[in-house]
């Protein structure tokens, strides 16, 4: 809102005019308002309530008079605390005189005056409003100090509904007691909780709805407490039920509350015309406030005193709780009890007392709560009088009195103590023991009250015998264990220090403690717990003596009783190591001081302390057994063995040996028993070996002269019986046996020898004699062998054993393919680099498609090549076919090899025949000269062979044609014939190439000179024949001529390097050149990698050996050309050896 006086009332008028404050055209709008109202407040808070819908009943009959239409009065409270009171009325015509309209006039009462409606609500119902808006009024309405009031004729006022007494008005509206209580319940619930709305359809004519609604609202206002009046919002007339913010109660036209309407089915609906009320939520007899109001309907003014009382009592409560109906139920009972209605207290005793405590307990309770405190004390006096008359109290009522003790213990305490004494005494007299002990517990629940109550009881001997001793004895007997007994004793001794000297209390405490200890399965642990708790009592000082509770006579009696019970009821054989080790009191020299120990008790005490020292000392000695008899020592040792068997390890070895100790004279009677124990319970053999190493430094097992003989013998027996394989493990020898000292190592050596084989034991025992014998025998054998060797060399023992030729080493697994790089010169003398791939099989060669590849060199980046050109030689020819390659195939040196022209179409028969004749002559010659030639020799030909070759070359050069028969091989060996034949084949030349000259023949001779080697036997008388045959063979091979049956000769020229030039991997002189061999190729050689693919990189590139070639998932490693040549050496086929 705008800046305005906080006490002034603002106004606003809303109707249909030519223009308004918020619109410049005709229509409904605010036409005038006080300066204290801002536009946001008007639009958000007031405009939603500026509405009027004429009743359907009047509209249907065409009512013309404005007075016949009921005004709609509304009242609500905004979130900011302002109160809005307004009225909307029907207007038959607007400023044009052509259509109907309505006018709303609102008063806005500031929050500072919101309490006016609490006590002066009738002025709100009598407020006067504007009937019409005139231009002369202007746009600004004045601020008002008070609400203007209507001036009505008193006679008319008395005759109208507002003049009727409340009872008569309710009768006329058909609201009896039940329906009125429901209506009041609904209104108070809607205002207090804000979850539901209330809709009422009065059974009255439409034009009288507002009159009767206003009259009923006055009655409701009189019944509502002040806090609810501050929140209540209503609307006296609405055509249809509609939920609106801040409105709790709406009066609607009859007939508008239709059954089954989901919009209102969850709300409070009162259709009085149809007799339909909401479901019964009012529980008769449990709604004190509703009953209180109904009784005052005839005198509503009398309720004002209660409303002021309730408002005072709720002043300190939270705002949310101040509006709840349940609060007024309590307060109206308090109010009526204060007025003398004690019957209400008797009917709702617990509710009244608890309700009163709820208002009295807060520390900041207002002074007005003194009225409630007086009510509570009056109720207590009534109850005390009943107890004095030997009545039995209600426990819940006594609890309320106990809780009040915290509020006023100083003044109220003595009265409450006397009340409790009488109440408990009455319960015990009536044999209501359960109630009596409940009252005891109730008194004990508050320390101050307990101290005051039992202090009073203990001071009076009669009361102590009758009220205290039975209670404390029963309390100790019901304790769940020895610890709870001690807690009871401790708490009571703190509250009542005199009990420490009370003989009955001491007797009951000791009796209860021993009884609880007898039922403990782990008696030693229970006694230790008792002694430990009593020891902690030294933290509780006794103010009257300067001592602590642990020094009291009662503490000593309890300790001695626990120890005495332990020594009498102890079962030593059932003790566990944890129980003994945790009983720290056993480590004290005066652990059992104060007890007269004899017989069984003395033995048990000694055994307990012996066990404690044995298993708590870091290094236990045999002196711990001094106090024990032989039988007790045996029992203790047996128990110790059982405890130790589950955890045998290095740190326990000292304790283990004590379990087998006998006495100071004999020490260990049986070492075998120790080793047997370890064998049975150690987790592995390694633990036993660790024990053996440990034992060599312990006086029970070793002395200055070495191991105790009995122990050494026991060790030997152990290995022989349980661990015969101990010394076979190198790991055990390294980790354990080799680390032993000299005495123990000697025993290990004896055990190892005893467990070895009989031969080894014999050698160990007779080592010198056996050594000497072996030396003599070895010397004799050497001499004998020498004599026999000399005799054999001299032929005295027969001919020498022929020396067998060494078998060639097995061939290593060959790689799937070889690859090397070669530089090839083109027609323009430009060199490019090609990668030559060699394959052992045609399938691999055919499947190889190197259109793209990657080269990775060490120390360099990877290079990729795509769209590569390549040439393949993957065709397998029949025997004698020679180098039949595809057209234009590039060899390793860049020369053309293989026929690729029309003239290459030579007759297969001629080629095969010539080849066959040559092979035939060669075979016959081999047979003829087999006795003199040695098969498989490789080397140069003899001088005669060279001359023969030269002569043949000259004859060929002069145009002579070699005859088939002259092709037969003479003195050369089978290998030579094979090589000569391998170079011969159909189509092994290039079209247009001229025949070879003498130089070519010489080259062939040189090649033959390098590749053929003759044995000394080749210098026989048949040299001339051999020379002639060799020359003919060389001529055929060198000139590469073939004669068909028709006498035609196909010429084949050699490449630039010569037909048989060296260094060519596919020429006749290369042992790995071609796979094809001539007919009758027995004893001939074939290449291991006859198929190849040459890939041109299109540029000159350095591809060093070791580079990696990648083609998809395939990888190849580049090797040098020389390495490839060596790996392509032909595999030699076996030939029949000539007969001797």
- Which of the residues in the chain have pLDDT under 50? 1, 156, 803-805, 809-812, 877-1085, 1131-1140
Give, to the nearest 10 degrees, the angle between helix 177-193 and helix 325-338: 120
CA 426 remoteness from chain centre: 65
Dihedral sign, Cα of residue 962, residue 968, residue 971, residue 977: positive
Q: By the 8 A CB rule, do 95 and 16 touch?
A: yes
Helix (H) / strand (E) containing 344:
helix 342-347
Query: Tokens at residue 328, please?
Result: 């007024």
CA atoms within 13 A on the CB side of 863: 12
Contacts of 930 (CB under 8 A, 6+ apart): 1138, 1139
CA 681 remoteness from chain centre: 41
Angle at alpha carbon of residue 1007, lines to 1123 and 829, rounded to 5°? 65
Q: What pLDDT was estimated at residue 814?
A: 55
What's the rounded Cα separation, in Å, for the pair 661 and 658? 5
List the alpha helices (DSSP H) in 519-599: 523-535, 553-569, 577-582
Task: Report phi then psi at 535, rounded to 5.
Answer: -60, -35
Q: What is each CA distance from 149 to 117, 122, 164, 390, 543, in whole angstroms?
A: 15, 10, 20, 66, 79
Give, to the nearest 10 degrees, the angle between helix 482-495 and helix 447-459: 80
What's the rounded Cα separation, in Å, for the pair 876 and 907? 18
Coil, helix or strand at residue 20: coil
Q: What pLDDT was estimated at residue 279?
A: 80
696-714 pLDDT, tens digit per residue, is: 988 889 888 889 999 999 9
pTM, two decimal places? 0.56
Contacts of 381 (CB under 8 A, 6+ apart): none
What's the rounded Cα separation, in Å, for the pair 1004 and 1024? 20
For 806-936, where are the E strands, in sequence order?
A: 818-825, 831-839, 853-856, 863-865, 869-873
What's the rounded Cα separation, in Å, for the pair 303 and 223? 7
| DSSP secondary structure string for all residues of 542-565 | -TTTS-BGGGSHHHHHHHHHHHHH
Query: Tokens at residue 1051, please?
Result: 């010429």
What's the rounded Cα separation, in Å, for the pair 882 and 876? 10
Backbone torsion region of residue 721, taken as left when φ is above 0, otherwise alpha when ψ lies between -120 and 50, otherwise beta: alpha
Q: Helices (H) and strands (E) in the chain — how many of each?
A: 44, 23
Task: Report phi then psi at 1071, rounded to 5.
Answer: -70, -10
**What does the CA dihedral 932, 937, 940, 944 come to, rounded to 10 degrees?**
10
What residue has token string 């109907």? Answer: 100
């Amino acid at each position: 809102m705008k800046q305005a006086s906080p006490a002034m009332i603002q106004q606003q008028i809303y109707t249909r005019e030519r223009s308004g404050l918020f619109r410049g055209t005709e229509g409904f709008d605010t036409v005038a308002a006080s300066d204290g109202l801002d536009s946001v407040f008007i639009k958000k808070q007031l405009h939603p309530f500026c509405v009027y819908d004429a009743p359907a009943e009047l509209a249907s009959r065409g009512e013309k008079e404005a007075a016949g239409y009921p005004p709609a009065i509304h009242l609500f409270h905004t979130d900011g605390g302002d109160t809005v009171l307004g009225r909307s009325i029907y207007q038959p015509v607007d400023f044009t005189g052509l259509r109907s309209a309505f006018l709303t006039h609102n008063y806005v009462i500031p929050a500072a005056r919101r309490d006016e409606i609490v006590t002066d609500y009738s002025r709100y119902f009598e407020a006067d409003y504007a009937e019409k808006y005139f231009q002369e009024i202007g746009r600004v309405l004045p601020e008002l100090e008070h609400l203007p009031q209507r001036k009505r004729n008193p006679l008319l006022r008395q005759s109208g509904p507002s003049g009727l007494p409340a009872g008569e008005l309710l009768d006329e509206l058909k609201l009896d007691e039940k329906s009125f209580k429901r209506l009041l319940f609904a209104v108070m619930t809607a205002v207090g909780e804000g979850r539901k709305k209330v809709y009422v359809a009065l059974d009255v004519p439409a034009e009288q709805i507002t009159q009767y609604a206003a009259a009923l609202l006055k009655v409701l206002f009189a019944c509502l407490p002040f806090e609810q009046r501050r929140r209540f919002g209503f609307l006296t007339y609405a055509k249809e039920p509609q939920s609106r913010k801040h409105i709790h109660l709406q009066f609607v036209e009859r007939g508008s509350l239709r059954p089954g309407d989901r919009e209102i089915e969850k709300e409070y609906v009162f259709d009085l015309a149809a007799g339909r009320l909401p479901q019964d939520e009012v529980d008769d007899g449990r709604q004190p406030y509703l009953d209180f109001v109904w009784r005052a309907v005839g005198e509503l003014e009398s309720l004002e005193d209660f409303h002021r009382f309730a408002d005072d009592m709720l002043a300190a409560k939270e705002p949310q709780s101040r509006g709840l109906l349940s609060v007024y139920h309590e307060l109206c009972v308090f109010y009526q009890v204060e007025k003398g209605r004690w019957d209400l207290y008797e009917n709702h005793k617990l509710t009244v007392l608890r309700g009163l405590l709820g208002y009295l307990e807060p520390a900041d309770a207002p002074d007005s709560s003194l009225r409630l405190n007086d009510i509570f004390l009056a109720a207590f006096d009534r109850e005390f009088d009943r107890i004095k008359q030997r009545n039995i109290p209600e426990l819940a009522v006594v609890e309320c009195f106990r809780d009040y003790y915290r509020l006023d213990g100083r003044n109220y305490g003595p009265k409450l103590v006397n009340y409790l004494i009488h109440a408990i005494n009455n319960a015990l007299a009536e044999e209501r023991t359960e109630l009596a002990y409940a009252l005891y517990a109730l008194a004990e629940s508050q320390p101050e009250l307990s101290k005051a109550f039992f202090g009073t009881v203990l001071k009076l001997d009669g009361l102590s015998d009758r009220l205290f001793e039975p209670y404390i004895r029963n309390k100790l007997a019901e304790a769940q264990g020895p610890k709870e007994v001690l807690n009871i004793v401790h708490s009571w001794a703190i509250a009542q220090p005199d009990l420490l000297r009370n003989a009955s209390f001491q007797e009951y405490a000791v009796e209860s403690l021993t009884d609880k200890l007898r039922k403990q399965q782990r008696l030693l642990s229970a006694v230790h717990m008792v002694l430990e708790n009593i020891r902690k009592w030294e933290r509780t000082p006794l103010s009257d003596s300067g001592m602590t509770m642990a020094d009291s006579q009662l503490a000593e009696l309890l300790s001695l009783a626990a120890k005495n019970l332990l020594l009498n009821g102890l079962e030593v054989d059932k003790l566990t190591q944890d129980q003994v080790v945790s009983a720290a009191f056993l480590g004290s020299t005066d652990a059992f001081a104060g007890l007269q120990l004899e017989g069984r008790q003395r033995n048990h005490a000694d055994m307990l302390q012996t066990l404690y020292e044995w298993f708590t000392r870091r290094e236990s000695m045999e002196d711990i057994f001094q106090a024990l008899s032989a039988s007790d020592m045996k029992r203790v040792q047996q128990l110790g063995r059982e405890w130790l068997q589950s955890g045998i390890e290095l740190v326990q070895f000292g304790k283990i040996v004590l379990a087998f100790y006998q006495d100071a004279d004999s020490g260990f009677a049986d070492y075998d028993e120790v080793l047997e124990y370890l064998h049975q319970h150690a987790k592995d053999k390694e633990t036993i070996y660790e024990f053996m190493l440990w034992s060599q430094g312990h006086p029970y097992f070793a002395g200055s002269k070495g191991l105790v003989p009995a122990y050494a013998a026991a060790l030997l027996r152990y290995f022989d019986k349980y661990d015969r394989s101990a010394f076979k493990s190198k790991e055990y020898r390294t980790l354990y046996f080799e680390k032993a000292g000299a005495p123990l190592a000697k025993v290990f050596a004896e055990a190892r020898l005893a467990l070895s084989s009989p031969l080894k034991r014999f050698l160990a025992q007779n080592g010198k004699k056996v050594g000497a014998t072996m030396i003599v025998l070895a010397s004799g054998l050497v001499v004998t062998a020498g004599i026999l060797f000399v005799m054999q060399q001299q032929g005295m023992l027969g001919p020498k054993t022929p020396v067998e030729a060494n078998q060639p080493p097995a061939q290593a697994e060959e790689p799937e393919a070889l690859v090397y790089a070669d530089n090839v010169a083109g027609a323009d003398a430009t060199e490019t680099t090609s990668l030559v791939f060699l394959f052992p099989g045609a399938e691999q060669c055919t499947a190889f498609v190197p259109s793209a590849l990657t080269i990775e060199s060490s120390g360099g980046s990877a290079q990729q090549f795509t769209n590569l050109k390549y040439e393949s030689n993957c065709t397998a020819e029949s025997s004698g076919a020679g180098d039949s390659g595809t057209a234009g195939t590039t060899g390793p040196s860049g020369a053309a090899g293989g026929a690729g022209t029309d003239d290459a179409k030579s007759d297969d028969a001629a080629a095969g025949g010539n080849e066959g004749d040559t092979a035939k002559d060669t075979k016959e010659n081999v047979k003829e000269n087999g006795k003199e030639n040695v098969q498989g020799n490789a080397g140069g030909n003899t001088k005669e062979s060279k001359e023969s070759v030269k002569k043949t070359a000259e004859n060929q050069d002069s145009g002579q044609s070699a005859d088939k028969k002259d092709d037969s091989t003479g003195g050369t060996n089978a290998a030579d014939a094979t090589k000569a034949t391998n170079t011969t084949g159909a189509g092994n030349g290039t079209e247009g190439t001229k025949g070879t000259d003498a130089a070519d023949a010489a080259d062939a001779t040189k090649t033959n000179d390098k590749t053929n080697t003759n044995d000394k036997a080749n210098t026989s008388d048949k040299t001339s024949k051999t020379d002639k045959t060799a020359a003919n063979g060389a001529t055929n091979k060198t000139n590469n001529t073939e004669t068909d049956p028709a006498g035609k000769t196909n010429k084949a020229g050699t490449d630039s390097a010569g037909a048989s030039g060296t260094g060519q991997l596919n020429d006749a002189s290369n042992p790995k050149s071609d796979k094809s061999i001539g007919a009758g190729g027995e004893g001939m050689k074939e290449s291991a990698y006859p198929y190849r693919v040459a890939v041109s990189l299109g540029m000159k590139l350095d591809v060093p050996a070791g580079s990696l070639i990648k083609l998809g998932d395939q990888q190849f490693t580049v090797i040098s050309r020389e390495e490839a040549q060596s790996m392509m050496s032909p595999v030699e086929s076996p030939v029949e050896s000539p007969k001797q």
